[in-house]
Chain A
Amino acid sequence: MTEKPFTTGTRLLPLIVLFAAIAVWWALWQLRVFPESVFPSPLAVAKGIGEEIRTGRLGNDLVASLFRVTTGFMLAVLLGVPVGLWLGNHVRSRLALLPAINFFRSLSPLAWIPFAILWFGIGDLPAIFLIFMACFFPIVVATLAAVASIPSVYFRVARDYRFSGLELLTKVTLPAIAPQVITSLRVTAGLAWLVVVAAEMIAGRDGLGFAIWDARNGLRMDLLVAGMIVIGVIGMVIDRLLMRLTKIRSVSWGYEG
Chain B
Amino acid sequence: MKAKPLLIKEASVSFGSVEVFRNLSLEISQGEFVAVVGPSGCGKTTLLNLFSGFLKPSLGSVVCSGRVRMVYQHDGLLPWQTAAQNIALGLRDLSSEAERKRQLNEMLRLINLEEFAGHYPHQLSGGMRQRVELARALAGDTDILLLDEPFSSLDYLTGLRLRRELARMLEELPRTVVLVTHDIEEAAQLADRILVLSDRPARICRELRMSLPRPRELTHPQVVETVHAVLAEFGLEQDKVGV
Contacts and interface: CB of A to CB of B under 8 A. Distances in A.
Given A160-B70, A162-B92, A153 B120 contact: no
Contacts of A253: 79-80, 120-122
Given A172-B78, A250-B81, A251-B80, A156 B122 contact: no
Chain A interface main SS type = helix
B80 A161 contact: no
Nearest to A159: B54
Contacts of B90: 161
9 contacts: A153-B72, A153-B75, A154-B78, A156-B70, A162-B93, A178-B80, A250-B120, A253-B79, A253-B122
Interface secondary structure of B, over-half rule: loop
Interface string B103-127: 0000000000000000011100000
Interface of A: 151, 153-154, 156-157, 159-162, 171-172, 175-176, 178, 249-254, 256-257
Nearest to B54: A156
B72 A175 contact: no
Contact of B80 (A156, A160, A250, A257): A250
A171 B90 CA distance: 15
A150 B93 CA distance: 26
Interface of B: 52, 54, 68-70, 72, 75-76, 78-81, 89-90, 92-93, 120-122
Contacts of A151: 75
Given A153-B75, A249-B120, A253-B122, 20 more contacts: A151-B75, A154-B78, A156-B54, A156-B70, A156-B76, A157-B78, A159-B54, A160-B68, A160-B70, A161-B90, A162-B92, A162-B93, A171-B78, A175-B78, A175-B80, A251-B80, A253-B80, A253-B120, A253-B121, A256-B122
B78 A257 contact: no
Contacts of A249: 120
Contacts of B93: 162
Given A162-B92, A250-B81, A157 B122 contact: no
Contact of B120 (A161, A178, A252): A252
Contacts of B121: 253
A157 B148 CA distance: 13
A176 B68 contact: no
